[in-house]
Amino acid sequence: MRKLIFLIIAIAGVAIFTLFYVLPWAAEKASALIPVTTEMQIGESLAEAFTRGSDKNDSATYYVRQFVQELDLDDTYKIDVQVIESEDINAFALPGGKIFIYTGILAKMDSYEELVALLGHEVTHVVKRHSLKSICRSAASGLVISGLFGDVSGITAGILSQADQFKQLDYSRELETEADNNGLNVMLQNKVEPKGMLDLLKLLKEEEIEMPQFMKYLSTHPDTDSRISTISVNPLIKKEFPENEKLKELFEKIKRCI
């Protein structure tokens, strides 16, 4: 009986180690082998499914795309931005270069610097293949859990699945932090005052619904206060540049479309 218990514990230990450490590493390596063309096809499929039930703001989309063309961005991917009619204060990026921005967050912005900060953040998700890596990690975890335990709704598989979700959340927070920091570099590269990133984060802080402390552990984003603190102490935030009249003009046109 003791040998059986020891064997079960050993198998569980190997499974947990594989799930939390070996699998994420393998999934990330696997994502690097996926061609950019395939990644773009994945993004196209996801974008098509999303836009099927969404209302697009074509006028704002037109000017935001012009805005993007004025920026010096990594050219590995063709960045395609669409503006979606929604009161949500949100934006997100799909694999391959698709970025969606809700009118809700554009309506709250006061400056073109904030929009550059948002685009820098989302473009980082694209260039660093964050969405693709997350998809690969989630898919690999699901396959291993179901393969080891069959019915994922079972007690053991359920516990491991929940634990894996927390691991994925922690990974997502790492990606968001990387997107904030690299978004700051995008702003500097385009000679746009990086203070816009701080303004954007403060905007998100003002608009976020107060979340109970225990629920913060379930968020894929780092706590906004933590993000603000991290950016605030970055010495790059003090850089100053002349106002970009072209970006300012396009931003004002975007705002009139909201």
Q: pLDDT value at position 187? A: 97
Regarding predicted confidence, which is higher, 166 or 115? 115
Instruction: Tell me the average pLDDT across 91-114.
Output: 95
Instruction: Tell me the average pLDDT across 102-124.
Output: 97
**9-60: per-residue pLDDT in tens?**
555 555 545 544 455 555 666 667 788 899 999 889 989 998 988 999 999 9
Q: pLDDT value at position 153? A: 46
Q: What is the mean pLDDT of the chain?
A: 79
User: Is residue 54 a part of any domain in this protein?
Assistant: yes
User: Is residue 59 a part of any domain in this protein?
Assistant: yes
Residue 194 has pLDDT above 90, yes or no: yes
User: Is residue 13 a part of any domain in this protein?
Assistant: no
Instruction: Tell me the average pLDDT across 198-219.
Output: 65
pTM of the model: 0.77
User: Is residue 2 a part of any domain in this protein?
Assistant: no
Residue 107, CB-side half-sphere exposure with 13 Å CA sphere: 14
Query: Measured in whole angstroms, how far is the alpha carbon of residue 244 from the centre of its chain?
Result: 27
The answer to whether residues 106 and 60 touch, using CB atoms and an 8 Å cutoff, is yes
For the ranges 15-24, 84-93, 157-166, 241-250, the maximum mean pLDDT occurs at 241-250
Q: pLDDT value at position 72? A: 96
Task: Give the whole-number percent of the chain exceeding pLDDT 70.
Answer: 69
Q: Which domain holds residue 160?
A: 36-257
Residues 235, 194: Cα–Cα separation, whole Å: 10
The answer to whether residues 66 and 254 touch, using CB atoms and an 8 Å cutoff, is no
**Residues 141, 156, 140: CA angle, nearest 5 degrees:** 5
User: Is residue 178 a part of any domain in this protein?
Assistant: yes
Residues 69, 145: Cα–Cα separation, whole Å: 44
* Short-list 16, 23, 35, CA closest to 136: 23
User: Is residue 22 a part of any domain in this protein?
Assistant: no
Start-end of H helices in the chain? 2-17, 23-32, 36-51, 58-69, 103-108, 112-127, 130-149, 155-189, 195-207, 224-232, 245-257
What is the count of structural domains for the chain? 1
User: Is residue 252 a part of any domain in this protein?
Assistant: yes
How, if at all, do strands 98-102 and 91-93 pair?
antiparallel
Cβ atoms < 10 Å from Cβ of 47: 20
User: Is residue 27 a part of any domain in this protein?
Assistant: no
Q: Which of 62-71, 89-98, 239-248 has the lowest mean pLDDT?
A: 89-98
Instruction: Tell me the average pLDDT across 106-123.
Output: 97
* Short-list 131, 110, 102, 109, CA closest to 44: 131
Q: Residue 61 carries which side chain, given as an amino acid letter?
A: T
Q: What are phi and psi of 83, to 5 degrees?
A: -100, 130
Regarding predicted confidence, which is higher, 162 or 229? 229
Cβ atoms < 10 Å from Cβ of 54: 13
Residue 143 has pLDDT above 90, yes or no: no
